[in-house]
Each structure stands twice: as structure tokens, then as C-alpha cells.
Amino acid sequence: MVTRDVLSAATALGGEPPLRPLPLEVAELLERLGAPLRLVAHLRLVHDVAAQLVEWVERCCPGLVLDGEAVLFGAATHDVGKTLHPEELTGPGSLHEERGRELLRAHGVPDPLARFAGTHAAWGSAEVGTEDLLVSLADKVWKGKRVPDLEDRVVARLCAASGRETWEEFLRLDEFLGQVGDGAEARLAYQAAYPAG
């Protein structure tokens, strides 16, 4: 029964808010891991916002070289380590980060994709790429949270690719993130409707 619920929560169409399904390979992995439904809902929300963010970047800054598929996979799996640390679903903690990366590797996910489980909270590191920043940003803005330093890092990447002034890229990103944030209440209600255990 749990298996069917995990797959349904990960891939069902329709509903409110309307969300993209998780990639089937991710849904099946979450099923095998017995992921809590709250985690599946969270991953789906972040994945959907990441898809909106990738589409926006591709449309507004086509000069920014970006692996959109990696961003989507990273968003869909960034908290997979919480299957091993379910207490971090409802409370603080960072044990899930490196454990998530290890878990993905153990299930055959190559490091360039498994890395997002470890980097989604380490966006301040100089080594993170644009894709990592976008996964981190999606993981914040889905619930309407704004993180100025993270957004500044994204703006810097946009400016480097577009040649536009910082203020111009900031205003464009700010407007887009504001629009995403408008749906935060519905997304929070969606996540809360699923049990954490």
C-alpha cells in the first residue's frame, strides 16, 4: 500500500496546485526507499519550482550555459537523505545532506547528479555551479523564502552571461521570484497534507 501511495504522490497528474510529476526513475527510487509521503510531496514541489526557474532562465538569459536536466534531477532528489534521517523532515538538521549523496551513489546515480543532495545547502561555497545555485534557490523560494546572498550569487551568474547591469538582472529575478512566491501558501498546504511518518 505504501508503494502505491509513494508512486501516486510522486507522479499523479492534476490536483491543486498543479505540479509536474517527478521523473519516473526518481519516483521508483523513492518507492524502493520507502520515502515518507511528506518528503515525496516536498521533492515534487521543489522540482516543480526548479522547472519554472529553468524555463525562466532559458527564456530571459539564453546566454547562460545551463544543464536544465541536472537541475531538475537535483531538485527531485536533493533531500533524499531524509529517508535515512526522517527527523529532519520536521526539524532542523544537516545529516541528510552527505548521507543523501552516498545513498544516491549506492543506487547507481553518478556523482555529477548525486552531488545536489550534498550541495543544496552549501550554496555559499565557491565550488558550486549555476545548477547547484538554482536547486538551492528552488528549495527556498517554493515556500516564499527569500535569501539575499543566494539571490545575489544567481544575479552574478546572470550578469556574467548576459552582460546586463546588476540592478537590471536583480529586478528581473526579483519580479520572477515574487511571482513564484505568490503560490507559496498553496504549496505549503499541499506539503502539509501529507504525513511526515
> pLDDT tens string for the chain (197 positions)?
334 588 888 998 878 899 999 999 999 999 999 999 999 999 999 999 999 999 999 999 999 999 999 999 999 999 999 999 999 988 998 889 999 999 999 999 999 999 999 998 888 887 899 999 999 999 999 999 999 999 999 999 999 999 999 999 999 999 999 999 999 999 999 999 998 88
Q: How far is 163 from 41, CA to CA, in rounded Å?
A: 38
Query: pLDDT value at position 60?
Result: 95
Query: pLDDT value at position 14?
Result: 79
Query: pLDDT value at position 132?
Result: 97
Residue 185 C-alpha cell reads as 501558501
Q: How far is 168 from 182, CA to CA, in rounded Å?
A: 22
Query: pLDDT value at position 3?
Result: 43
Query: pLDDT value at position 13?
Result: 86
Query: pLDDT value at position 5?
Result: 85
Query: pLDDT value at position 126?
Result: 77
Contact of 109 with 85, CB cutoff 8 Å: no
Q: How far is 110 from 115, CA to CA, in rounded Å?
A: 9
Residue with cell 509536474: 20
Three-class DSSP labels, 6-51 = HHHHHHCCCCCCCCCCCCHHHHHHHHHHCCCHHHHHHHHHHHHHHH
Query: pLDDT value at position 2?
Result: 39
Domain ranges across the chain: 2-192
Query: pLDDT value at position 124?
Result: 83
CATH topology for the 2-192 domain: Hypothetical protein af1432 (1.10.3210)
Give this prediction's pTM.
0.95
Residue 14 C-alpha cell reads as 492534476
Query: pLDDT value at position 121?
Result: 86
